[in-house]
Structure 1
Amino acid sequence: MYLTFSFLSFCHQLQNSDSLDCLERLIDLNNGEGQIFTIDGPLCLKNVQSMFGKLIDVAYTPFHAVLKCGNLSSDVQVFPRPEPVIIDEEIDPVPKFINTELEIVGFIDIADISSPPVLSRHLVLPIALNKEGDDLGAGLTDDLEDENSASQIAGKIPNFCVLLHGSLKVEGMVALVQLGSDWHGMLYSQADSKKKSNLMMSLFEPGVEPLPWLGKTSQLGPISDAKENPYGEEDNKSPFPLQPKSKRSYAQNVTVWIKPSGLQTDVQKILRNARKLPEKTQTFYKELNRLRKAALAFGFLDLLKGVSDMLDRECTLLPDTAHPDAAFQLSHAAAQLKLASTGSSEHAAYDHNIVPLQTDFSGRGSDRL
């Protein structure tokens, strides 16, 4: 009784002092996340109980939902209660609330989902209901014997939530769950110890592409829809992360000439391959196009004219035993570089590639380029 009275006195003193202003400032510093509960009316035990009842309703009331996967479903409760999410990018942001019907839309390997960024994590527990739809534990009294307890009765009833938890744990997978419009999360098994694990749910950021390496969630589909198994016959090939449609600039090998030696090395590569034509035709044109693109990007048109003259000179120095196709390819490459060095021809376009000259000697062997 002394503790109760002391606590009531503390609440009364806090409410009648300037301490509430300090608490409000703390909430403002926390971006408005939080709430202050005060006693309504005179100080008494009933009003204090009412205040704590409001706190329990807001912060400690479980979130009840129905977990569905096809024709299977289970009533579950989620701890802690998921908070509404506000998307700041919207002009008039409206809080997004999680649906009370959580539908599983697919399953993904743990290795593919990796460790994604999430908004929050929640414990998912099954609820055993009787035929009338009421919680089995609601009408049980404390004097029932152990074998008739709510937990034992619930344990004897098949439950999809328990089946899902065990399956995810054994198969090493996560379930992708629909939380709302363009909003997904994942269900997975998390071990507290070697003998105990729980079914958990993590919420992703709202949006059509919450995890960049998976792409858009609306475009994910079952393996059966694919022409070939993306995981390979031995499950050693993963389709994730998805390859971007266009190669990122920072992922490419960019030609940089900081020192004269770097430029000299690239020109020597072209000359070495030119002297091994036609065996090195593909490599020759690959190096030639790489230098051509870099020269156009830097506006170094004189380089193209210089390399063109060098190829003409190599053509005149070919021995009598050289393959006839070598002279044709060198003359063709030199002419293409001269056109590109003018800067006005269509051959000076950056995306244009110099392709091998089709001759009676080369046949169709260079079409692969």
Structure 2
Amino acid sequence: MPLAIVLDVSLSMSRVVSTPEEEEEYQRKHLAIHGINVLLDHLNTHSKLEFVSLVVFSSMYEILSSFTRDYDAVRAKLQNIEDRDKTYLEAALHGVSILINDEWGQNTPCHVLLITDGSSSLNILGLSRTLLNGQRGSTRPEEALPFLPFNFPAKFHVIAITSPDDPSLAVSMPVYQKIIDLSGAEGSVFVPEGGLSLKSVQNMFTKIAELHYSSFEGTLRSGSLSDSILLYPPPRVSDAENMEVIHCKISKDITICGFVDLIDVASPPAVSRHLVLPVHSANKSDASLVELKAEGEGEDDLLATPEEGKNPSFCVLLHGALKVENMGAICNVGEKWYGLLYSWADSKKKSNLMLSIFEPGTKCIPWLGDLSLLGSFSEATSPGSFTTFPIKPNEKRSYAQSCVVWVQPGNLQADIQKILRHARKMPDKTQHFYKELNRLKRAALSMGFADLLETMAVILDRECTLLPHTAHPDCAMQLTHASAQLRLSRDVRHNITALRTKFTPDD
């Protein structure tokens, strides 16, 4: 989940913090920077593939670093932060909304960390009157915070660099919580425990990192072969069934049950997809693994040093075999829960080992049946016979007829273009023109898409005016007739027939 760090750089962040336990004096800004570095160190160790951005704000916002995986670049920006004027939370919300919408759009979940000092500034007091007290004549919440709720899925946390017993925090805390509620995102307010110090801030950021950016490490097994793996992003799966949300947990041991051709699996529904990365220890040695040199293993290089690249890896062996044979490995990821390992390529040169996790249950792929009952192919077939999935039933279903599908805009566009191609070739293609036109008409009326008939009539009128001088005279007459019939006929059982002209051949 991409992380947006929003740091307060107002003058109040320059207040000095002195504690009896520490000899040096620190500004609150320095404590915040130290905590961000702790978070970046955790990501560099456990979640190297996460994108991080840095936004600073006071009365205005500035994007110091867009989303990047170069954590050293973000650290360098932190060292050159300058103090600015007053705190203005609206600027922070504006900046992070603009950044995330430009980079990721409105469908990618993002993590927002707002770091401030928790002081009861004029901005906080004004938001308190507007959001909490609701004084008469004051600005409404949606006008005071026009960028809330977020138009993208997010987790929003506020980190207050202040002592828990600070009187200002009692005024600021309800405002922060109200802003989180208005954002429409999951979140909470974090305050250092046991007073404000370098160690307490470090412990708080470590807690946040372990809570939201903990990596998933497990073991991939197949018979006597095994390898330590890391899944990115970490699997977090919840299943809604019978109006009840069930949280499922992935097992640490992922066991391969068997192999199947990818053409038989086709494109099954998956609740999540993860990149499988091998995790090699320095002293690991397994004589059962076969050393394999693979070119372009993609993101695997992010977790491997040159020395580790020389060690045998079962993940590399499995990925190479699945890629060459064009097969997938059905694996058990939990109790009565399955997934599919396969090779996926984002370009011609790089490919990666991926894991698609299916819905919980043993019948997650309908055309394969119960996955717990699958066996070897040789046991299911007699000598000389050959069967592929999906197995077609002997009886003919009543719904096994061709139908019009307009799930994507391109499907509808293709049907309209097909009608226009036949229209330009009349009278030779007159029968085909009316066949496709009636097919479009029936589908539109069946789906309640009656406006399409008027639009199609306008398209036919325009096509009639654009006919070249070499076009057959019957072409213009048929287009005019079809356009008029589309506007008149609203009966799904009525078919539009061709206009009888002197150019129409006798039956």
TM range (shorter): 0.5 to 0.7
Q: 2:251 aligned with 1:95, yes or no?
A: no
Residue number in structure 1 paired with 2:437: none
CA distance, structure 1, for counterparts of residue 117 and residue 258 of structure 2? 53
Deviations 1:3-52 (A, max 9, x none): 6729958423455252322323545xx6xxx4435123455554443333
For 1:26 and 1:214, locate their aligned partners in 2 and report how far apart those are by CA, in whole Å: 43
Alignment CA distance shift 1:46-1:252 (3 Å)? same
- Aligned twin of 1:299: none
Q: 2:344 aligns with which of 190, 193, 199?
A: 190
In the TM superposition, residue 246 of structure 1 has moved relative to its aligned partner by: 7.0
**What letter is aligned with 1:109?**
D
Give the conservation status (yes or no) of the 8 Å contact 1:76–1:126: yes
Return the match for 1:250 from 396, 399, 405: 399
- Distance change (3 Å), C-alpha of 1:97 and 1:167: same
* In structure 2, distance between residues paired with 1:217 and 1:88: 20
Which position in structure 2 is the counterpart of 1:114?
A: 266
1:18 matched residue in structure 2: 175
Percent sequence identity over matched residues?
A: 39
Larger Rg: 1
In the superposition, relative to structure 1, how do residues 231 and 83 fare at CA in structure 2: closer, same or farther (>3 Å)? farther
Contact 2:269 2:358 in 1 (8 A): yes
Equivalent residue, structure 2, for 1:316: none
Q: Is the 8 A contact 2:31 2:198 kept in 1?
A: no
One-letter amino acid matched to 2:350:
K
**Aligned residue number for residue 309 of structure 2:** 155
- 1:169 equivalent to 2:323? Answer yes
Matched, 1:82 2:235: yes
* Cα separation, 2, equivalents of 1:153 and 1:230: 50
In the alignment, what sits opposite 1:265? Answer: none
- 2:395 is aligned with 1:241: no
Question: 1:101 and 1:156 mapped to 2: Cα distance?
Answer: 25
Q: Secondary structure at the match of 2:316?
A: helix
Hey, what's the Cα distance between the residues in 2 that align with 1:94 and 1:215?
23
Aligned-partner residue type, residue 184 of structure 1 = Y
2:210 aligns to what?
Answer: 57
The Cα shift of 1:179 comes to 0.7
Cα contact 1:215–1:242 (8 A) shared by 2: no
User: For the Cα contact (< 8 Å) 1:59–1:81, is it kept in 2?
Assistant: no
Per the alignment, residue 179 of structure 1 pairs with 333
Which stretch has the larger CA shift, 154-163 or 54-63? 54-63
- Taking a change above 3 Å as real, the CA distance of residues 113 and 150 of structure 1, as seen in their structure-2 partners, is closer
Once the two structures are superposed, residues 167-207 of structure 1 have per-residue CA deviations (whole angstroms, 9 ceiling, x without a partner) of: 11111111111011111011111113221111111110001
Q: State the Cα distance separating 1:88 from its structure 2 match.
A: 2.5
Q: Give, as a single letter, the amino acid of the residue that structure 2 aligns with 1:155.
A: G
* Equivalent pair of 1:60/1:80 in contact (CA under 8 Å): no
Amino acid at match of 1:186: L
Equivalent residue pairs, number? 227
Asked whether the 8 Å contact 1:121–1:203 carries over to 2, the reply is yes
Are the counterparts in 1 of residues 282 and 308 from structure 2 also a CA contact under 8 Å? no
Q: Which segment drifts farther, 81-90 or 59-68?
A: 81-90
SS in 2 for 1:61: coil
Report the 3-state secondary structure (helix = DSSP H, G, I; strand = E; otherwise coil) of the residue aligned with 1:251: coil
Q: 2:364 aligns with which of 201, 205, 210?
A: 210
Structure-2 separation of matches of 1:229 and 1:172: 24
Q: TM-score, normalised by structure 2?
A: 0.40
1:289-336 deviation line (CA, Å, top 9, x unaligned): xxxxxxxxxxxxxxxxxxxxxxxxxxxxxxxxxxxxxxxxxxxxxxxx
Distance 1:43 1:244 in 2: 70
Give TM-score, length-normalised by structure 1: 0.53
| Secondary structure, counterpart of 1:18 in structure 2 | helix
Q: What value does the CA root-mean-square deviation take over the aligned residues?
A: 3.4
Structure 1: tracts of 5 or more residues without a match: 134-148, 233-237, 254-369
* CA 132–220 in structure 1, closer or farther in 2 if over 3 Å, else same: closer
Checking the alignment, whether the CA contact within 8 Å between 2:231 and 2:275 is kept in structure 1 is: yes
Aligned to 2:381: 227
**Residue of structure 2 equivalent to 1:66:** 219
Query: What CA deviation, in whole Å up to 9, does each residue of 1:242-293 have, x standing for no partner?
Result: 345876442389xxxxxxxxxxxxxxxxxxxxxxxxxxxxxxxxxxxxxxxx
Hey, what's the Cα distance between the residues in 1 that align with 2:384 and 2:187? 50
TM-aligned CA distance change 1:46 to 1:230, over 3 Å = farther
Q: Aligned-pair distance for 1:94?
A: 4.9
Q: Evaluate the alpha carbon distance shift between residue 246 and residue 5 of structure 1 in structure 2; reply closer, same or farther with a 3 A threshold.
A: farther
Q: Is the 8 A contact 1:68 1:104 kept in 2?
A: yes
